[in-house]
Amino acid sequence: MNRRTAWRLALAGAATSALAGGVAWRQQRASSAPADATMAAEPTLWQLRFDRPEGGELAMASLLGQPLLLNFWGSWCPPCVAEMPDLDRFARDMAPEGWRVLGLAVDNPNAVRSFLAARPVSYLIALAGFEGADLSRRLGNTQGGLPFTVAFNAKGAAVRQKAGATTLAELQQWAQQLR
């Protein structure tokens, strides 16, 4: 397969994910309990490592012991970009209570770096690449769209998930329920 064909396939996959994300965003479906698939994927999640856009690596195990909001996103995804200010605010407001926010980019690393140079955020960002879509499915994202957000308690168990964009009020409610 030549480079042009590989890029076309990647773009087609991104477009498909964007379409699915748009559908999920419009439906605004939320789940109060993780699916069985989420439970099975959790131990694997904490063993993963991801490259960081600025260099270095993030070990998911380093985030255990504190509540975590995990958001799958792409720079090409309008609802993902729209919810980033709320995620950023949540990360700043909830840091004193021990919360961490991680944005896992389901995207090309160079596109993520360019995006973050223009729109920096205060929360952690890691590079999942297009394989991140598979990880989000294993965590309960049955439609495979973006954005997709999962809240984990300090023990690393998924307690909330949502396909589609979140709001600051919604995230604050999730945090309140975990107190």
CATH number at 150 reads: 3.40.30.10
Residue type, 55: G
Determine the pLDDT at residue 43: 78
Q: Which domain holds residue 140?
A: 3-178
Q: What are phi and psi of 129, to 5 degrees?
A: 65, -170
User: Model's pTM, two decimal places?
Assistant: 0.79
Q: What are phi and psi of 156, to 5 degrees?
A: 90, 15
Distance CA 106, CA 104 (A): 6
Count of domains for the chain: 1
Determine the pLDDT at residue 57: 98
Determine the pLDDT at residue 11: 46
Determine the pLDDT at residue 4: 54
Contacts of 43 (CB under 8 A, 6+ apart): none
Determine the pLDDT at residue 75: 97
What order of strands is seen across the sheet that includes strand 49-51?
30-31, 158-163, 148-152, 68-73, 100-105, 124-127, 49-51, 57-59
Query: DSSP character for 10?
Result: H
Determine the pLDDT at residue 3: 56
Query: DSSP character for 131?
Result: G
How do the pLDDT tens digits run along the chain, 179 residues long?
565 544 444 444 544 444 444 434 333 334 444 444 444 467 789 999 999 999 999 999 999 999 999 999 999 999 999 999 999 999 999 999 999 999 999 999 999 999 999 999 999 999 999 999 999 999 999 999 999 999 999 999 999 999 999 999 999 999 999 88
